[in-house]
Structure 1
């Protein structure tokens, strides 16, 4: 294993996902890329959830991309620093409601061979109508994918 990509949002499930990725990274000595994305159309709700996250200081910026990146840095410092895991944060605002291609691009650009992503537990009908980011990552990423179900 070379590098792990952990895709996070401001949810307890994603904190647990980052803890799992951190434990694996600590045991194998690899770096973690912490990716926090906000999709166009859902950015207000996502940024509000980040700003309300317990312990996160949201007063330093109003810029969406900077807030998202600072959230990834915050979780990295809270979860990965105590484990002695090296990490890099990537926080971005993307102009699509289907972030799977961005997740795969970040993983490939950073040499990740393992992706940790959470599944929002959509129904089969929801997947058919709206697509499924997790399914797309599983099918299109050339590496291992670990899925944590919400």
Structure 2
């Protein structure tokens, strides 16, 4: 079974685009997706299953026969995704990109860019912008 680690954030549209991108990969009937939600702050000790975007992505993936595991963590998103992929020896990392200006990337950073540059694994970048 192939394993893909997919990073989710709170944006339901990006989570949908991420899941729809993953199900276009050939052989999804033999694919396990580990949906990782990295909490910036979690003062209420929320569970990953409480995040609407995670639930939506899981629903789409499971509707297409993908086995789904959920993981919630806290910290810096890019290193957490890369570490999770390493821990599970994943074949691929999937992220949902977003359009940002060069200034926005400099100020806010880019998880997608950090993941692409920080791993030797293939990275699938899905975009909700075209919808």
Q: TM-score range by the shorter chain?
A: 0.7 to 0.9
Partner residue, 1:110 = 88
Aligned length, in residue pairs = 126
**CA–CA distance in 1 between the matches of 2:54 and 2:105?**
31
Residue 69 (structure 1) aligned with residue 70 (structure 2): no
Query: Tell me, which stretches of 5 or more residues in structure 1 are unaligned?
Result: 45-61
Larger-Rg structure: 1
> Tell me, what secondary structure is at the counterpart of 2:114?
helix
Q: 1:2 to 1:131 in 2, by over 3 A?
A: same
> Tell me, what secondary structure is at the counterpart of 1:24?
coil
> Tell me, what secondary structure is at the counterpart of 2:90?
coil
After superposition, give the CA deviation of every residue in 1:122-145 in whole Å (9 maximum; x if it has no partner). 210121223211101001111111
Structure with the larger helix share? 1
State the superposition RMSD in angstroms: 2.5
Runs of 4+ in 1 over 4 A off after TM superposition: none
**1:113·1:142 contact (CA, 8 Å) conserved in 2?**
no
Q: CA deviation at 1:22?
A: 3.0
Q: For 1:1-150, what aligned pairs fall within 5 Å after superposition?
A: 2-9=2-9, 10-24=11-25, 26-27=27-28, 29-40=30-41, 63-64=45-46, 66=47, 68-71=48-51, 74-75=55-56, 77-92=58-73, 94-95=74-75, 98-149=76-127, 150=129
- What TM-score results when the alignment is normalised by the length of structure 2? 0.79
